Amino acid sequence: MEDEIFYNNAQNAFDNFPDNFNILEEQIDVEIQMQYFEFVNNNREKTDDINALENGDELFMAETSLERKKEILAMLSVNDNVKAYRTIEKFITLSEGFIKQWAIMSLQENRILLQSTLLDEKQIFISTGLGGKGKKLRYFVVFLNNTPNTTLSNTQQKLLKDELVFELEKNQGEFETINFIEEFSTACVMLPLKTDIKTVFKNIIDECNQYGNFLKPDLIITNVKIMSKEEIVSLLHKKGGN
């Protein structure tokens, strides 16, 4: 019941979004995203530093601390000068790990600022752990086998993939990957933000089950992360125990 209420609330929120939204395309750990927004909010006065562009050179110095790089990227993110955008963009190509993900968040925020300034219209920024492309969000989906301790047959695998691709194309979505594992199958797909994802995946399962009833009506859908096999099994056991 709680899952149903959460889904309906989320779907209503998406349906009411205006068209001027931007989706973070890269896959950024949600914890890093939360740290970034918290850091920027807590250091709002520092981010207004008029010398942000000059300080940008520090990003490329080996002796600059991680904390200082975070601070500079936050300052550049709220500077509506194209040079700030180019500085962050260059830094991303030379960085890796945590600070690269931080820089990507900074670049996205700066991009939204520049668009808002140029178009004289406030832009909306949507970020999820799995990112997206254009106006589409990426989802990780787990289809559950009806028969325990078995992998889908070759015929069932082909049917599921074909129905998945068909339904995605019908809804302007994109197929990325599918993997077949004992007890369940996982897929990565992209769908437009305002898609009724519940109906899309119900249609896929219903169509497949006309040929042997081999999928459970329940499934797992998330746009937070790609789950490992161990995480999926743990979640299923937890749900089964409730």
Query: Which two tokens mark 159?
Result: 């049917």
Q: Is 0.75 surpassed by the pTM of this model?
A: no
pLDDT of the residue at 164: 97
Mean pLDDT per 10-residue run, the chain (242 residues)? Answer: 43 56 78 88 64 82 92 88 92 94 91 78 74 89 92 96 97 96 94 90 96 93 91 82 46
Is the dihedral angle over the CA atoms 41, 42, 45, 46 positive or is it negative?
A: negative
Q: Name the H helices within the chain.
A: 2-15, 30-42, 44-47, 52-55, 66-77, 82-94, 97-119, 154-170, 197-209, 229-241
For the chain, the structural domain boundaries read 29-126, 132-241
Q: How far is CA 67 from CA 20, 47, 139, 163, in A?
A: 33, 14, 32, 48
Is the backbone of residue 212 left (phi > 0), alpha (psi -120 to 50) or beta?
A: left
CATH architecture of the region 132-241 = 2-Layer Sandwich (3.30)
Query: Which two tokens mark 180?
Result: 């077949």
CB 165 within 8 A of CB 173: no
Query: Which two tokens mark 96?
Result: 């890796």
